[in-house]
Structure 1
Amino acid sequence: MRRAEQTRRENPVHVKKRVDYRRRRDFIIELGKALHKFGTPAFRLEAHLYNVTRSLGLDGYFMATPTLITIVLWEPDRRNKRNYHIRVKPGDLDLGSLAVADQLVDDVISGECSMTEALQKIEEIYIRSSSYSTLTTMLSFGVTSGAFAMLVGVSMADVIISSVIGLVVFGILHLVERTDNYGEALEPLAAAVAALIASAFSHFVSGVNVPLVVLSGIIVFIPGLSITMALKDLAARQLMSGTARLMDSLMCLCKLYFGSVLGSSLVGLLWAARPIADTAVIPGWSPLIAVPLLSLSLVAVFKNRLRDIPWAVLAAIVAYAGSLFGAAYLGDSIGPFVGALAVGVYSNIFSRVTNSPSMLVLLHGTVLLVPGSKAYIGLNQIADSGAFTNLPEVGGQAFMIFMSILAGLTFSNVIVPSRKTL
């Protein structure tokens, strides 16, 4: 009763300010949760939340990690600071929802959308389902694996087998997503099944390159992109987030490799492995088809908006062409620097022209630089040789590729700064 009487006696202006603060606070918190769920890197997430907070008339500090978001908010004319700690799960890429959330922020800042409407819309975005059907996503997994197999220069038999494995891998992913207890076993299970299928095909089809077929079949799980984003976090002094992402990516790579070795060993109990025979490789012009096809298939995996598809495919072409040009003049390890620089400049121009986040197309180009597959192939070469004498050389090459990509993305922001922090 006393509290109710006190509330009625309060100045209506103060009550309105308190309600307005709570709405802005709730919007910032929900926005942070949504952007984290959609796979936004920590350095971009923190910078974006800071800019939005200042635009809404508040001030704050932010810290994001793969499993925790810490938000400190206060009003500029007051000293009281309020702390909020939100426990979250590591996010998955959803570039379509990311674009919708970014547009909502623009509408709120411009006054086209009230804070009450924004809170309802951000909740709808948070729980929205993918724009792509299960069948479309399944086909995209198969096309992604087949297109990557074309890029590594193997035979058409390997391309077909890789596509089949990609379809099976999606089936495993779809089944695991329906359960809550087997998520940690997804990567080794998918790799083991991929190795079983590839080894079985190699017994009946001559010339199958089992290691590269397995790699192509599970390419969606290869953490090349996540390793690159982890290093980008570290370069931006986001030490906690970068370290956590890096260790998670390396653990994912090890689980994939163990699963492939386990699958190959199980097949070895049934029959001996056949040597790789000399077969006709796919034509040299196949990358002209494989590069846009790979980027187009990743649209469903990354859940892009339909309007961003042409830009995303062009980003992949720019990255791949730049990487080839750089490798021709600077070597295989430094070549990705040119590709990353080109796609970084391109994505920032895209952001300026369309007023959209550069991430919508940047990730398509970064994937084409394929740093994760280099590390996986290096592990496979070490195991095949029976010794770890080549480990420094392979590790050094993979490290240089990652650093080249990171440097290219960093310099691109200096040449053409992005209009958006996302």
Structure 2
Amino acid sequence: MTVPLRVPTSTLLVGGSAIADADEDVADLLAATPPDEAPVGPAEEPATADETVRFCLQLGEAMIDATAPVVQVQDALEHVAHANGLPDVEVVALPTALVLSTPRAAQTRTVAVSAGYRSLRLDQVHAVLEVADLAREGEVGPAEGSRRIAAAFASDSPYTAWQQALGYVTSAVGLALVLGGSLTDVALAAVLGAAVVGFEKLTSARAGPYRSIVVLLSAFGVSTVVFTASRTGLDVSLLPALVAPLITFLPGALLTTSVIDLATRQMIAGAARLAAGVMTLVLLALGIVGGANLVGIPASAVAPGGEQALGWPGAWLGVVVYGVGVTIRHSARRRAVPWILLVLVVAYAGQLVGGALLGSQVSGFVGALAMTPVALVVARHPDGPPAMVSFLPAFWLLVPGALGLVGVTSVLGESAGQGITAVVTAATTMVAISLGVLTGLGAGSWALANRWWVRERTG
């Protein structure tokens, strides 16, 4: 059952083509499991209005923690409420809060919860979005849905702590290769990545309200080592050696999601996420500038990679190595790993083609445009992860955070012209990626409607 959104929709023009009803596309097409293939759970007693409201709050809070676009959260909760007998629910979703009201019900209810304070693993994101998709179609009721979400939050990672740490080091090595690092850069990325993940683990118990200090100190320590190594005459390309070990702090997905929110007219949520992402970039840049000043090298020396360690195959190998490391670090389900790698390879290939044909500023658009239909088709497979699970590592790979970090670092390092150019390039990249996703959703809707990849059986 499909319930149209009550908010007016807009038409986005991307590359000369119109994408109508962008809000509904983002919300509906990010669904992980189609209704005709969703597993049906045991029948539940009809839920009361209070039980439905409590479940919607729990589900919405979990989806916000999973960094889902706000329009997807609102649409999912409206569908869930309608499926459980509350057709007139108003939802206000923000990155740090969720408000739900039933203004036209027999008994008016208005409730709110805080959100966005948890960082979910990929397997938890997978579980939450599965519950959302089943609940919006009425296949799972509030009682069972609440039980599944609670079980997902209480579950342990499929990987041990040392495996996750090794995954972080592996993803840093892969990103250094993707960024064109030399063998020295790759080795530095591995060593410093291990130091960063160790420091993060050491401070995790008390880092909640002080995470900004952890980000700042990590960037300062990494930059001090890298700039010191560059002064000794080692073959160090500063961008791969600096950015790759700090990958856990790069806000690429946050910045891109903020632009998606802005593109779908969620102004407050988009602005809040954008401000949070920019703040993280500023903290990283301050740490890098501090390390550069300590060593005596201008921070404007941060530049793209030099000689690729393994030639042109090195970047492709880096994508695979990065993907394997990210899935371990962020605890993706094992059966989802091959599909995530497929989306990563498609995104990187699209980025390369876009860069060759249209320039580096538009390369992210082509990469996102290529990966989005693939992620939607993958989500239809029985073993495929929800589209958001495939998107997140791909957003991290498209590296708007890295580009922005270079720009902010250059500005703080008194190279204003170079810095402003890099910041504008980063902003253009984020917009391009977001519009690529929206355009890909339009292409994905056509593909799903026509099922062009499935041959009809005859006879």
Q: Is 1:62 the counterpart of 2:94 in the alignment? A: no
Instruction: Give the counterpart of 1:375 among 404, 410, 413.
Output: 404
Q: Which residue of 1 aligns with 2:275?
A: 247
Which of residues 152, 155, 168 is equivalent to 1:125?
152
Alignment of 1:363 onto 2:392: yes
* CA root-mean-square deviation: 2.8
4+ runs deviating over 6 angstroms: 109-112
* Residue aligning to 1:295: 323
The higher relative CO (CA closer than 8 Å, separation ≥ 6) is in: 2
Contact 1:224–1:367 at 8 Å: present in 2 too?
yes
Structure 1 residue matching 2:360: 3-state secondary structure: coil
1:73 and 2:93 are equivalent in the alignment:
no
Q: What is the aligned-residue identity percentage?
A: 25
After superposition, the Cα gap between the structure-2 partners of 1:364 and 1:298, relative to the gap in structure 1 and judged at 3 Å, is same
Report the residue type matching 2:51 in the other structure. R
Shift of 1:93: 4.2
Matches within 5 A, 1:84-163: 84-105=111-132, 115-163=142-190
Conserved? CA contact 2:95–2:273, under 8 Å: yes
Secondary structure of 1:334's partner?
helix
The one-letter amino acid paired with 1:97 is: Q
Amino acid paired to 2:108 = K
Give the greater-gyration-radius structure (CA): 1
**Does the residue aligned with 1:129 lie in a helix, a strand or coil?**
coil
- Structure 1 residues 212 and 379, CA, compared in 2 at 3 Å: closer, same or farther? farther
TM-score by structure 1 length? 0.85
Distance change (3 Å), C-alpha of 1:402 and 1:110: closer
Deviations 1:46-73 (A, max 9, x none): 1211222222221311112121111113
Question: Partners of 1:280 and 1:184 in 2: how far apart?
Answer: 33
Partner amino acid for 1:361?
S
Moved more, 371-380 or 249-258: 371-380
Does residue 405 in structure 1 map to residue 438 in structure 2? no
C-alpha change, 1:21 and 1:326, in structure 2 (3 Å) is: same
Q: Is the 8 A contact 2:289 2:412 kept in 1?
A: no
Structure 2 equivalent of residue 9 of structure 1: none
Cα deviation, residue 204, structure 1: 4.8
1:232 pairs with 260, 270, 273, which one?
260
Letter in 2 for 1:222: L
1:181 shift after superposition:
4.9
The residue type equivalent to 1:121 in the other structure is: R
* CA–CA distance in structure 2, aligned partners of residues 356 and 206 of structure 1: 42
Corresponding residue for 1:172? 199
- Asked if structure 1 preserves the Cα contact closer than 8 Å seen for 2:286 and 2:412, the reply is no
| Structure 1 residues not aligned, in runs of 5+ | 1-15
Matched-pair contact (CA < 8 Å) for 2:252–2:402: yes
Is the 8 Å Cα contact of residues 66 and 90 (structure 1) preserved in structure 2?
Answer: no
Structure 1 residues 248, 289: CA separation in 2 closer, same or farther (over 3 Å shift)?
same
Q: Output the CA distance in 1 between the equivalents of 2:157 and 2:116.
A: 18
Find out whether 1:309 has 2:337 as its counterpart. yes
Contact 1:318 1:365 in 2 (8 A): no
Distance apart, 1:291 and its partner CA: 0.6
SS in 2 for 1:86: strand
The AA in structure 1 aligned to 2:168 is F
User: Which residue of 236, 254, 263 corresponds with 1:208?
Assistant: 236
Asked whether the equivalents of residues 34 and 126 of structure 1 are also in contact (C-alpha less than 8 Å), the reply is no
Task: Tell me if 1:184 matches 2:212.
Answer: yes
For residue 63 of structure 1, give the secondary structure of its aligned residue in structure 2: strand
Q: Give, as a single letter, the amino acid of the residue that structure 2 aligns with 1:365.
A: A
TM-score, length-normalised on structure 2?
A: 0.79
* Partner deviation per Cα, 1:325-376 (whole Å, 9 max, x = no partner): 1111111111221111000111111223348521121222222211111122
**Among residues 38, 48, 53, which one is paired with 1:25 in the alignment?**
53
Moved more, 88-97 or 39-48: 88-97
Amino acid at match of 1:182: Y
Q: Offset of 1:127 from its aligned partner?
A: 3.1
Alignment of 1:82 with 2:87, yes or no, is no
What is the one-letter code of the residue matched to 2:312? G
SS of match in other structure, 2:417: coil
Cα distance change on mapping 1:345 and 1:181 into 2, 3 Å: closer
- How many residues are matched? 395
Which residue of structure 2 aligns with residue 10 of structure 1? Answer: none
Are the counterparts in 2 of residues 231 and 242 from structure 1 also a CA contact under 8 Å? yes
In structure 2, the partner of 1:46 is 74
> Residue 12 of structure 1 aligns with which residue?
none
Flag the 1:33–1:289 CA change in 2: closer, same or farther, 3 A.
same
Conserved 8 A contact 1:49-1:62: yes
Q: In terms of mean alpha carbon deviation, does 206-215 or 225-234 score higher?
A: 206-215
Pairwise mapping of residues 217-366 of structure 1 onto structure 2 (< 5 A)?
217-268=245-296, 281-354=309-382, 357-366=386-395
Partner of 1:6: none
**Residue among 193, 202, 225 paired with 2:221:** 193
- Shift in alpha-carbon separation, 1:391–1:406, aligned structure 2, 3 A: same
Deviations 1:394-417 (A, max 9, x none): 233222212211111111111112
